[in-house]
A and B are shown apart, each in its own frame.
Chain A
Amino acid sequence: MMRDPRTAVVVALLIFLALLPVYIAMGGNNFVLILFTRILILALAATSLNLILGYGGMVSFGHAVYLGIGGYVVGILAKEGVNAGIVQWPLALLVSALFSLVIGALSLRTRGVYFIMITLAFSQMLYYVAVSLDRYGADDGLTIYRRSQFGLLNLSNKILFYYVCLALLLGVIFLVARIVNSRFGMVIRGATSNERRMRAIGFPVFRYRLVCFVIAGTLCGLAGVLLANHTDFISPAMMHWTRSGDLIVMVVLGGMGSAFGPLIGAVVLLVLEEALSGITEYWQIILGPLLLLIVLFARGGIVGMLRPRHA
């Protein structure tokens, strides 16, 4: 199996991620831990997007809205004095699911560019709702003074929180991998491959797509919960459309329709962003063409590049 460079890269990356806190504990730069916690969280969001984008062919340009929804549920509850994680987290997932159900039910009736535009429109709509929430910081955002409380599990411990994020990310990657190889997953992938044929062989495609959309939105809501806890802060910027764009870039860069692609894409994008912005203020001038080259010349993203040639 290790002959496959993809497996080697994934294994190396997982070992690196698992051991990173050890490096921190030995006196490494704390900033690296914070950066990688953020990477894990956004990788989780990108993995959820991959389910609908990579496998389901649904190009949602508003996926970050669920980061915002998950985050705002945590932030609003914290502001109102409800800090119990057992309340915050399930509620955040439930609200994300409900929003994705409504957004999906309306936008999945469209195709192609219209779908992209309508998902974008919904996310912008909620963005401005967040901007108008005066009680919860409006434009400036809202500081969260206590992270979600889970009894003995203290999420304020940075290393523990990192491992919580890592465990949830791996759990979600595994879950998505199971889903796409299940009966449900075959329906989703079949509909991407040939929707007309799917109807002809007896599948009501819409309802499967909608459920898929809701699963992805809910999982992204989880990423929002983590992000709010990570930054101790929520603001409308969490769900700005550029964030949705970042998530798409992660998925496409890493490899659409591959289990670990979004994680690899998130690591590469955010580490590059960090490294280049240290060199020059105009780092986007370097990052932009670099992404363009990968997208143009490596079909299937980085994971596609690593695919053995003879296979």
Chain B
Amino acid sequence: MPEPLLQIEGLTKRFGGIVASDDVTLSIPQGELHAIIGPNGAGKTTLIGQLTGELSSQSGRIRLAGEDITALPAWQRSLRGLARSFQITSLFLDFTALDNVALAAQAHVGHSFHFWRDVRKEIELREPARAALERVGLGARADALVANMSHGEHRQLEIAMALATKPRMLLLDEPMAGMGVEECGRMVALLRELKQQLTILLIEHDMDAVFALADRISVLVYGRIIASGEPVAIRANADVRRAYLGEQQAVTLNG
């Protein structure tokens, strides 16, 4: 069996007395779309924070393509191909959409100690940025100021920025948060296309989307993974129903 792209072993994070991640072990092979679901406060965003390096971990190991990245700062993990999107939109509001994505691309073409040349005339940055915008369906909005764009567009831009860093793996933190039905549909279509080329760790509340997209699903409750497996198995898992889905929803899911 080939080495998994992302391997998490015994990852733990405590905030004071609260255990946000409790001995999380997970391995995600190349090409998989792995979804993590769980009730609010289960520690999903904390886990993403630990993986991207925003949060330190008390114990455990994270390996990306075999390399131990547990002690690396966030920016170095990004350079190694781990890209994230934020649950709460986190963009450069005073820049245009294209500038946002071009800046993400810029981080990955060597150092930025260039003081003279006009960055907006650098084809090396503008072209890939434009391509990433096209890919998420924002091609026509390249020159819009981000502060003036809609919430749905912000969500798309989040993905475009992650793509512009030429990632090996995407960590998507609720990419559909706050989206309307139609926008959600577009996002699902986009993720379905992206999963052809990228390994993705998806955190999402929208169960329809999760079950439509995921190759495997892990269920996180109180920082602990209580079940991990293919969507069919998760749907049938009694623990999952009791701990997370609740009896009412379990009925719906069966139907």
List residues of A whose CB falls within 8 A of some B CB: 178-179, 181-187, 189-190, 193-194, 196-205, 208, 211
Contacts and interface: CB of A to CB of B under 8 A. Distances in A.
Interface in B107-143: 107-108, 112-120, 122, 125
Contact of A196 (B54, B83, B112): B54
A193 B93 CA distance: 7
Nearest to B94: A193
A197 B95 CA distance: 13
B161 interface: yes
A196 B165 contact: no
A201 B93 contact: no
B27 interface: no
A199 B75 contact: yes
Given A189-B92, A202-B76, A202-B104, 7 more contacts: A183-B117, A187-B106, A196-B90, A199-B73, A200-B52, A200-B75, A202-B107
Nearest to B90: A197
Contact of A190 (B76, B79, B92): B92
A178 B119 CA distance: 10
Contacts of B103: 186-187, 190, 201
A179 B118 CA distance: 9
Nearest to B77: A202
A183 B119 contact: yes
Interface of B: 52-54, 73-76, 78-79, 83-84, 86, 90-95, 99, 102-104, 106-108, 112-120, 122, 125, 161, 164-165
B117 A197 contact: no
A184 B110 CA distance: 12
The 6 closest A-B pairs by CB, nearest first: A202-B78, A202-B107, A199-B74, A183-B114, A193-B92, A183-B112
Contacts of B116: 178-179, 182
The listed residue with most B CB atoms (<10 A of its CB), out of A179, A187, A196, is: A187
Given A182-B117, A183-B114, A194 B91 contact: yes
Contacts of A196: 54, 90
B95 A181 contact: no
A268 to B, nearest CB: 25
A200 B74 contact: yes
- The dominant DSSP class at the A interface is helix
A119 B75 CA distance: 27
A108 B246 CA distance: 49
Contacts of A197: 86, 90-92, 161
B119 A182 contact: yes
The listed residue with most B CB atoms (<10 A of its CB), out of A193, A197, A208, is: A197
B78 to A, nearest CB: 3
Contacts of A190: 92, 95, 103
Nearest to B162: A201
Contacts of A202: 75-76, 78-79, 104, 107-108, 165
Given A187-B112, A193-B95, A211-B113, A182 B84 contact: no
B45 to A, nearest CB: 13
B75 A203 contact: yes
Given A182-B118, A183-B119, A203 B107 contact: yes
A189 to B, nearest CB: 8
A197 B106 CA distance: 13
B114 A201 contact: no
Nearest to A179: B115
Nearest to B74: A199
Contact of B92 (A194, A205, A208): A194
B161 A201 contact: yes
A204 B110 CA distance: 12
Contacts of A203: 75, 107, 112
Contacts of A179: 115-116
22 contacts: A181-B118, A181-B119, A182-B114, A182-B118, A183-B112, A183-B119, A184-B113, A185-B119, A186-B112, A187-B103, A187-B106, A193-B95, A199-B75, A200-B52, A200-B78, A201-B103, A201-B164, A202-B76, A202-B79, A202-B107, A204-B75, A211-B113
Nearest to A215: B115
A205 B117 CA distance: 20
Contacts of A193: 92-95
Contacts of B120: 181
Contacts of A200: 52, 54, 74-75, 78, 83-84, 86, 90
A211 B119 CA distance: 18
A201 B112 contact: no
B227 to A, nearest CB: 29
A279 B161 CA distance: 57
A203 to B, nearest CB: 5
Nearest to B114: A183
A178 B117 CA distance: 7
Contacts of A178: 115-116, 118
Contacts of A187: 103, 106, 112
A186 B52 contact: no
Contacts of B75: 198-200, 202-205
A201 B90 contact: no
